[in-house]
Structures are given as structure tokens and as C-alpha cells.
């Protein structure tokens, strides 16, 4: 049986890809009609949500949630009909200056939603229900906290009104996505590309908000070994100012893909979505979004959509146990935190590498950003230089003050990328007698740690390989001549020293009158003994004839190959 037959056929969440972008033929009339309707103005986040609903990214939602779905999502992580859904997708006009309008609205009305900046109609809302909700409860259930330091919680109290409006929507116009516009793909297009154009049977989605580092690349390529296609779906955020200017971000993705990925196995498209930092609940939403784009698998790393230390590092992986694989309908692929191991000489996780942290360079997105802010290209083990070249120019703000000192504590960067710098003298080196106090670290320590990694990360493993190969390569043509010759000369020098010391022992008296000027026999003998031991311990250079006995066959060669 073909393996693909065992997999469920990919399908949008709830079975049908939603389309609520109004047909171009109807838009003109709808726009005219919209001018006579009651209206509300909406900000960018609502517009982004409406675009996602209208293009099927949030299928099966056809509009903003009503009270039954809202309650069910908060209480059970499911829509009222039982379909898994974890994040409330609601519309709450900010009350600020708009009570009048909301109060005049009645269930059953059509309401024009206007872009608050351009005042142009964006969508029509077919108002079904107006209901109140509890902000504390929403914050607690969605985010697990009511602390306003959390951006998602703060958004509830700062931007949302007291009432939620539900109903289906019709989108009248799409927003322009700036430098991402030409890369934009709607679900109906990704389904076509994956299954008709490329003829894939499995597609793995990867989400990121940052340029690809080697940790991302490792996870993607592990997945690419097993599945047909990779869908890189970077998030274009709408609530947070980008660390990397968007033009640079796009070019950095292209630099990575052009140089290190086979073109016919990857599709890149941006996703315009608001990040909420709701950890596990948001991981489920992100999986559903990719399912609606046609993906069969989703890579989930450590602390997906996390905020500080609010969620347990693997909570976003654990939540998938609350649902059956059939009802989620997209398979999450879980990965541990990745690092580069200089002893293994490859990317690894705790599942695959047995070595201590003194060999590890951690893949820290924040560490990478900080390095770039300070004007250093991160080590090649963390970031491909082709990518670094682009994003070092696009990062804002820069991280040094006018005196050239780091504005953020440099310890964050050092510990983020090179955790063993404070405990070990160098990568894979000896332990420090006393660990360095992180509070005392400066940009010079970032430089020292970076330089150590640049010099040593690639040599640790190659030194080991060479030391062993040197003793076992039967062909001396591969030998490092200079090293063997230097060793041969050192041995000769040692032999000469032993001769001199032997003569000295011979001549030395049993006792001496002035021990500073002359040595007695016993002392001379001790010196000789040490020199002889060193000679024994020195590696003997290998002569070609010493390899002859290694090349032997008990029977004629031909008898094995017949």
C-alpha cells in the first residue's frame, strides 16, 4: 500500500474554504451602497482579521464570532459545534467617541466598516448579535494572566470596547502589503500551487517573524527529508514595530533560499496576522491557519508564541494532546531547542547530542538581533553570512550609544548565544576557576566570545579528526608533512638531551660541596629519568615501512570480489 493512502486527505478546517471577498462585479455597487449605511471606523488589526476571514485563512469563520462561539472558545477551546478553536476572533469597536453609533445599531442591520485612516469602506458587516463580555475573564482564559505588561492583555483594556459585534462580513477591498505584496498568496492559490502545480502530497509549514537562522534551517531541512514541500510563512506583524525593516527581511529570506534551498521544494509567502503571544492557544490557531493554506504538517519549536517566561517552554506542544489528530487535521512536528555543537560539528538538540554546554552555541533569535544591533555579524554557525549581510543593514534601532557602549545589558547577548563563555575559558576549553559575573560583562566580552567561536568552532572537530587520521591513514600521501617533520626533529632533540644527561650522571659525584653550583648523582639521575619518560610519551613519527604490516589479506584479493 502506498504510504500516502494512510494519511487523511488534506482539507480546510471544518471542510470548506471560506470566500468572502466580494466579487469584483459587485464591488462598485456595494461601495455606493456602503455610503448610505450606518458605519463604524476600524483600525488595522480589525482590517487584517477581516482579510484573513474573507480569504479563508480562518475557515470556517465567515465573520466575527457570536456569543455562543465566544463562550465555547473561552471555556472549551472549541467552537459551539465542537470544532477545535482556541482564540476568540471578535469585533469590538472602541467606545471612544463612538457610543452613539453603536447604540443606534440593531441586530439585522448592515454596517459599513471604514478604514479609520483613509475613511474608505473596507467591508460590510451583517450584524447578527451585540453582546457584552468580561475583559478580566477574556485576559485570564486566553493569556493566563491579567497583567497589562502582556501586549495581548493590554490590547483588551486599551483598544477594545465593552460590546462585541458579531456577524458575517463581505470584504470590499484588500489592503496593500507594501514590500510583501508581490509575495502574497491566498489559501486558494497555495492549495493550487502545492497540489496541482507542484504535485506534492505533503507540505510542511514553518512560521517565523525573523530572518532565518541556522536553527530554523535545521528544523526545516529535517522536515524536508521526510516530506515533499516546505511552506515558509513568515508573519508580517501589525501591532509591533518590526526589528528588521521589511524590505531587508524579504531580501534576507531570499538570500537564504537562493543559496541553501532547492528552489522547487520551497514556497515563500508572508502572512499578515496580529501576534497575540497567547502561547499554546495561539499555537493551535497557527496550526489551523496552515491547515487552511493546504499544509499537512507544521513545525513547532520551543515556546511558540511565548511571552517572557509566562508559558512553560513546551506548553504550545502539550496543548495538542487536548485534541484528536483527526479533528486538528494537521500534524504538528515538535522540536526541542536547537544549538550548534562544535564537538558534533553540526546542528543538534538535546535529543541528538551527548556533549556538554561548553561545546554549544545557542540559536537565540534575540541574541542574533542584539549582535546585529551592536554591529557584529553573528557566527556562521548561527547565521548564514549571506543573510547577515542583508539584515545587519536593516535592523533598527542600533544598540550602541555614542560612547560605543551597549544600551542593553551585554550579558543578555553573551548568555543568549554563548552560554558557556562565563563558565569556560573558551569553546570546548577548560572551566574557569570562578564563573564571570554577568553584571560585569561589556561589549568587549561580546567581541571576545564571538572571536573565540569564529576561531574555534570549526577547528575542534577537525583537530580531532586529523589527530586520529594521522595515525591510521595507511597512505602517507595524506600526511601533514610539516607536523611529522617537526615531531621527528623534536624527538631527535630529546635523544640528544638524554645523551648529555647520561654523561652528566656518569660524571656526577655522590655528594657536592655547593649544591647551587654542582649537582650530585641522585639529582642528575632524576633529571635523566624525566627526560627519558618524556621521550617515551612523545608520539613517534610514523615511517612508511611501519604501515606495511597493516596492508594484508589472508586470502588473495580476487577471492573476495568474485
Among 47, 142, 236, 353, interactor with Zn ion by CB under 5 A: 353
Sole window of 113-121, 245-253, 337-345, 478-486 interacting with Zn ion (rule: CB under 5 A): 337-345
CA dihedral (212, 267, 283, 331) positive or negative: negative
Among all residues, whose Cβ is closest to Zn ion? 341
CB 249 within 8 A of CB 242: yes
* x/- letters, 227..246, toward Zn ion (CB under 5 A): --------------------
Residue 141 interacts with Zn ion (CB under 5 A): yes or no: no
Residue 355 interacts with Zn ion (CB under 5 A): yes or no: yes
Q: How far is the CB of 347 from Zn ion (least distance, A)?
A: 10
CA 466 to chain centre: 33
Comparing CB distances to Zn ion, the nearer of 112 and 341 is 341
Residue 457 interacts with Zn ion (CB under 5 A): yes or no: no
Comparing CB distances to Zn ion, the nearer of 261 and 339 is 339
Sole window of 239-247, 339-347, 415-423, 523-531 interacting with Zn ion (rule: CB under 5 A): 339-347
CB 205 within 8 A of CB 233: yes
Sole window of 58-66, 241-249, 350-358, 482-490 interacting with Zn ion (rule: CB under 5 A): 350-358
Q: How far is the CB of 360 from Zn ion (least distance, A)?
A: 7
Question: Which secondary structure element, helix H or strand E, spans residue 115, and what is its range?
Answer: strand 110-115
Comparing CB distances to Zn ion, the nearer of 291 and 343 is 343
Comparing CB distances to Zn ion, the nearer of 209 and 344 is 344
Q: How far is the CB of 457 from Zn ion (least distance, A)?
A: 12
Residue 428 interacts with Zn ion (CB under 5 A): yes or no: no
DSSP E strand boundaries for 152-250: 163-171, 203-208, 229-236
Cα–Cα dist 266/247, whole Å: 20
Sole window of 2-10, 56-64, 95-103, 336-344 interacting with Zn ion (rule: CB under 5 A): 336-344
Comparing CB distances to Zn ion, the nearer of 193 and 341 is 341
DSSP-assigned letter for residue 126:
E
Among 341, 377, 392, 528, interactor with Zn ion by CB under 5 A: 341
Q: How far is the CB of 385 from Zn ion (least distance, A)?
A: 23
Residue 344 interacts with Zn ion (CB under 5 A): yes or no: yes
Among 343, 373, 384, 424, interactor with Zn ion by CB under 5 A: 343
Which set of grid coordinates corresponds to residue 83? 470544532
* x/- letters, 472..491, toward Zn ion (CB under 5 A): --------------------
Cα–Cα dist 235/270, whole Å: 6
Cα–Cα dist 28/172, whole Å: 9
Q: How far is the CB of 432 from Zn ion (least distance, A)?
A: 21
How many residues touch Zn ion (CB under 5 A)? 5
CB 211 within 8 A of CB 256: yes
* x/- letters, 516..555, toward Zn ion (CB under 5 A): ----------------------------------------
Comparing CB distances to Zn ion, the nearer of 351 and 549 is 351
CB 425 within 8 A of CB 449: no
Comparing CB distances to Zn ion, the nearer of 125 and 417 is 417
Q: 490-527 in b/e burial notation, b at 16+ Cβ within 10 A? A: eeeebeebbeebeebbeebeeeeeeeeeebebeebbeb
Sole window of 188-196, 281-289, 295-303, 345-353 interacting with Zn ion (rule: CB under 5 A): 345-353
Residue 345 interacts with Zn ion (CB under 5 A): yes or no: no
CB 79 within 8 A of CB 133: no
DSSP-assigned letter for residue 395:
B
Alpha-carbon distance values, 170 to 18, 59, 112, 192 (Å): 11, 14, 10, 23
Q: How far is the CB of 352 from Zn ion (least distance, A)?
A: 8
Residue with cell 515558509: 232
Cα–Cα dist 325/287, whole Å: 12
Q: How far is the CB of 354 from Zn ion (least distance, A)?
A: 6
Sole window of 179-187, 338-346, 377-385, 438-446 interacting with Zn ion (rule: CB under 5 A): 338-346
CA angle 539, 542, 548 (to 5 degrees): 140
* x/- letters, 21..60, toward Zn ion (CB under 5 A): ----------------------------------------
Residue 65 interacts with Zn ion (CB under 5 A): yes or no: no
DSSP-assigned letter for residue 192:
I
In 3D, which of 407, 410, 329, 345 has the Cα closest to residue 380? 345
CB 8 within 8 A of CB 201: no
Residue 109 interacts with Zn ion (CB under 5 A): yes or no: no
Residue with cell 526545516: 220
Cα–Cα dist 110/503, whole Å: 111
* x/- letters, 284..323, toward Zn ion (CB under 5 A): ----------------------------------------
Q: How far is the CB of 431 from Zn ion (least distance, A)?
A: 18
Spatial strand order of the sheet with 339-341 comes to 346-348, 339-341, 360-362
Please count the other Cβ atoms lying within 10 Å of the Cβ belonging to residue 132: 10
Comparing CB distances to Zn ion, the nearer of 123 and 341 is 341
CA end-to-end distance (rounded Å), the chain: 37
Comparing CB distances to Zn ion, the nearer of 89 and 341 is 341
Which set of grid coordinates corresponds to residue 551? 596492508
Comparing CB distances to Zn ion, the nearer of 344 and 458 is 344
Q: How far is the CB of 260 from Zn ion (least distance, A)?
A: 22
Positions that interact with Zn ion (CB under 5 A): 341, 343-344, 353, 355
Amino acid at each position: 500500500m502506498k504510504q500516502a493512502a494512510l494519511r487523511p486527505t488534506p482539507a480546510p478546517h471544518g471542510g470548506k474554504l471560506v470566500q468572502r471577498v466580494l466579487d469584483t462585479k459587485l464591488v462598485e455597487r456595494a461601495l455606493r451602497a456602503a455610503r448610505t449605511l450606518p458605519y463604524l471606523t476600524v483600525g488595522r488589526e480589525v482590517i487584517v482579521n477581516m482579510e484573513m476571514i474573507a480569504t479563508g485563512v480562518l475557515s470556517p469563520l465567515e465573520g466575527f464570532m457570536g456569543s455562543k462561539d465566544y463562550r465555547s472558545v473561552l471555556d472549551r477551546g472549541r467552537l459551539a459545534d465542537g470544532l477545535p478553536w482556541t482564540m476568540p476572533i471578535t469585533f469590538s469597536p472602541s467606545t471612544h467617541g463612538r457610543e452613539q453609533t453603536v447604540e443606534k445599531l440593531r441586530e439585522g442591520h448592515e454596517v459599513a466598516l471604514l478604514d479609520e485612516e483613509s475613511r474608505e469602506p473596507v467591508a460590510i458587516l451583517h450584524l447578527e448579535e451585540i453582546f457584552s463580555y468580561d475583559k478580566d475573564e477574556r485576559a485570564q482564559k486566553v493569556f493566563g494572566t491579567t497583567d497589562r505588561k502582556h501586549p495581548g492583555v493590554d490590547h483588551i483594556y486599551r483598544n477594545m470596547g465593552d460590546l462585541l459585534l458579531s456577524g458575517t462580513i463581505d470584504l470590499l477591498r484588500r489592503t496593500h502589503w507594501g514590500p510583501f505584496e508581490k509575495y502574497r498568496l491566498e489559501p486558494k492559490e497555495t492549495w493550487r500551487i502545492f497540489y496541482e502545480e507542484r504535485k506534492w502530497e505533503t507540505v510542511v509549514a514553518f512560521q517565523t517573524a525573523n530572518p532565518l537562522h541556522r536553527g530554523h534551517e535545521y528544523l526545516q531541512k529535517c522536515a524536508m527529508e521526510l516530506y515533499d514541500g516546505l511552506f515558509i510563512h513568515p508573519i508580517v506583524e501589525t501591532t509591533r514595530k518590526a526589528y528588521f525593516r521589511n524590505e531587508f527581511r524579504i531580501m534576507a529570506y531570499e538570500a537564504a533560499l537562493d543559496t541553501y534551498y532547492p528552489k522547487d521544494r520551497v514556497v515563500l509567502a508572508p502572512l499578515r496576522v496580529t501576534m497575540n503571544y497567547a502561547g499554546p492557544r495561539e499555537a493551535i490557531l497557527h496550526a489551523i491557519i496552515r491547515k487552511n493554506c493546504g499544509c499537512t504538517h507544521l513545525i513547532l519549536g520551543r515556546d511558540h508564541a511565548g511571552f517572557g517566561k509566562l508559558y512553560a517552554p513546551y506548553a504550545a506542544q502539550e496543548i495538542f494532546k487536548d485534541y484528536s489528530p483527526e479533528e486538528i487535521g494537521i500534524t504538528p512536528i515538535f522540536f526541542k531547542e536547537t544549538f550548534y555543537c562544535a564537538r558534533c560539528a553540526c546542528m543538534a538538540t538535546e535529543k541528538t547530542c551527548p556533549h556538554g554546554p561548553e561545546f554549544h552555541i545557542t540559536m537565540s533569535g534575540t541574541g542574533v538581533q542584539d549582535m546585529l544591533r551592536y554591529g557584529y555579524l553573528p557566527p556562521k554557525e548561527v547565521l548564514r553570512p549571506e543573510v547577515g549581510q542583508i539584515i545587519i543593514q536593516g535592523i533598527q534601532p542600533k544598540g550602541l550609544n555614542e560612547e560605543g557602549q551597549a544600551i542593553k545589558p551585554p550579558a543578555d547577548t553573551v548568555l543568549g548565544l554563548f552560554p558557556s563563555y562565563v563558565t569556560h575559558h573558551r569553546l570546548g576549553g577548560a572551566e574557569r576557576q570562578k564563573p564571570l559575573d554577568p553584571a560585569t560583562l561589556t561589549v568587549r566580552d561580546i567581541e571576545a566570545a564571538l572571536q573565540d567561536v569564529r576561531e574555534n568552532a570549526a577547528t575542534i572537530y577537525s583537530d580531532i579528526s586529523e589527530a586520529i587520521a594521522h595515525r591510521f591513514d595507511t597512505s602517507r600521501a595524506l600526511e601533514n608533512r610539516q607536523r611529522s617533520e617537526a615531531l621527528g626533529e623534536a624527538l631527535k632533540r630529546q635523544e640528544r638531551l638524554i645523551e648529555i644527561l647520561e654523561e652528566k650522571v656518569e660524571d656526577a659525584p655522590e655528594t657536592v660541596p655547593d649544591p647551587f653550583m654542582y649537582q650530585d648523582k641522585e639529582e642528575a639521575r632524576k633529571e635523566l629519568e624525566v627526560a627519558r619518560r618524556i621521550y617515551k610519551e612523545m608520539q613517534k613519527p610514523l615511517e612508511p615501512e611501519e604501515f606495511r604490516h597493516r596492508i594484508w589479506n589472508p586470502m588473495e584479493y580476487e577471492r573476495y570480489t568474485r
